[in-house]
Amino acid sequence: MAYTVILDPGHGGYDNGAVYFGRMEKYDNLDLALAVGEILDSNGVNVLFTRTEDVYVSPLERAYMANMVPADYFVSIHRNSGQTPNTYSGVQSLVYNMNDPSRQLAENLNKELEELGFTDLGIAVRTDLAVLRRTVMPSVLVEVGFINSDSDNTLFDERFDEISYAIATAILDSLGVPPTNEGEPSNDNEDTDNMMDNRNRNMNGNMNDEFNGNMNGNMNDEFNGNMNGNMNDEFNGNMNGNMNDNFNKNRNNTNGNMDNNMNNSNNPNSNLGQHEESEIDTDYQIGEGQEEQPTYHIQLGLFRDGNNARNLVNNLNQAGYMADIISQGELYAVVTGEFDSLDEAQAAEDTLRQQGYSTLIVRNGNR
């Protein structure tokens, strides 16, 4: 059975992530994700990436891209950061809840990285991060050491290949795939030049075009939804918070349910993993406290140009669908239908997708 894993190098482009004396998290994340992907690929796993270059991809866009393909795991790779340099160190994994396969993957990741010398800071529940909340497959965000810890950075650099192999091994173990020796670091000591060459490895076309396409705007048609060449602004990060509970994995809200090793208020590491402000799901924040009865619509496009929205409405009308344009600030959303239940909306969405439309269920009301 062929497995598919989506690797998500955190941050990118103008979003540097955490920075420490000029060292930027976005580069460490990308280097590590590419190295892990190469090892997984050599072990027969289909690997997709949310980015393969130093470009910005919004958290909601990452989740939306991931949900377009059937994948077994989504792994977001990050470095942690504390308020005071050289105060904290170690590896930590974040999950949406503790009751799906993501927990086992998180445990495997922490275990493998602890064996290389990282302190295991445990698993934390984060329901406010878009890449965990919005992805439909089991998802983990792993913080591979602290970027403002000199000891963690030394470990990250000197044992980079072993760290890559450890993460890949944790993923393979979680999939139930026995790891081969492909990609396993040699026991021989490597000189610094060779180590850095490995960090700058070229994937030479081993990455699926569904994801790498051209992240500077030439996205694969599977992602732009055959929208007559007009790139949907959802892929520009302008999703304005209208994402569906289908992207919430229909999970029970588990706010505050930390794993036992993170629950102790006296634990100095109990508030770690809070620095990823750029990863926060803003729709989750806005939607809290709303009391109105939820209803569902199917969104088929979000445009800056009103003419493009009207063209899509005309096409839908000709196909027998009643469609409307809803103004969202400077954007124009094309929607159809109004459903009282998610099941009804999903049934209608399936029909539209079978006809080649790119769809997104949007929800109004209490989450």
Which residues, 6+ apart, have CB-to-CB distance to 184 below 8 Å? 165
Is residue 221 pLDDT above 50, yes or no?
no
Tens digit of pLDDT for each residue in 229-241?
A: 333 333 333 333 3
Tens digit of pLDDT for each residue in 127-140?
A: 889 899 889 899 99
Q: How many whole angstroms separate alpha carbon 82 and alpha carbon 273?
A: 9
Is residue 55 pLDDT above 90, yes or no?
yes
Is 333 in contact with 242 (CB distance < 8 Å)? yes
Q: How many whole angstroms separate alpha carbon 39 and alpha carbon 183?
A: 5
Q: Euclidean distance between the first and final Cα of the chain, in Å?
A: 36
Is 139 in contact with 130 (CB distance < 8 Å)? no
pLDDT given for residue 83 in this prediction: 87
Is 286 in contact with 322 (CB distance < 8 Å)? no
Tokens of 293: 């009865």
Is residue 288 pLDDT above 70, yes or no?
no
Q: Which domains does the chain possess?
A: 4-201 (3.40.630.40), 288-364 (3.30.70.1070)
pLDDT given for residue 340 in this prediction: 80
Average pLDDT, the chain: 76
Give the residue-averaged pLDDT of 100-113: 97
Is residue 274 pLDDT above 60, yes or no?
no
pLDDT given for residue 275 in this prediction: 61
Burial (CB count within 10 angstroms: exposed 0-12, middle 13-18, buried 19+), residue 22: exposed
Specify the length of the chain in residues: 367
Measured CA to CA in angstroms, residue 336 lies from 126, 166, 240, 320 at distances of: 33, 47, 18, 11
Give the residue-averaged pLDDT of 322-327: 78
pLDDT given for residue 280 in this prediction: 78
Is residue 14 pLDDT above 80, yes or no?
yes
Report the catalytic residues. 143
Higher pLDDT among residues 155 and 179, named by residue: 155
Mapped onto helix, strand or coil, the DSSP state of residue 52 is: coil
pLDDT given for residue 42 in this prediction: 95
Scan for tokens 């000591």, then name that residue. 189
Rg of the chain taking only CA atoms, in angstroms: 21
Q: What pTM was computed for the model?
A: 0.62
Q: Phi and psi (nearest 5°) for 9?
A: -70, 115
pLDDT given for residue 186 in this prediction: 64
Confidence of residue 314 (pLDDT cuts 50, 70, 90): confident
149 Rama class: left (phi>0) / alpha (psi -120 to 50) / beta: beta
Mapped onto helix, strand or coil, the DSSP state of residue 210 is: helix
Mapped onto helix, strand or coil, the DSSP state of residue 250 is: coil
Is residue 106 pLDDT above 50, yes or no?
yes
Is 144 in contact with 170 (CB distance < 8 Å)? no
Q: How many whole angstroms separate alpha carbon 27 and alpha carbon 54?
A: 8
pLDDT given for residue 324 in this prediction: 80
Q: How many whole angstroms separate alpha carbon 18 and alpha carbon 27?
A: 10
Q: What count of other Cβ atoms lies within 10 Å of the Cβ of residue 266? A: 5
Burial (CB count within 10 angstroms: exposed 0-12, middle 13-18, buried 19+), residue 8: buried
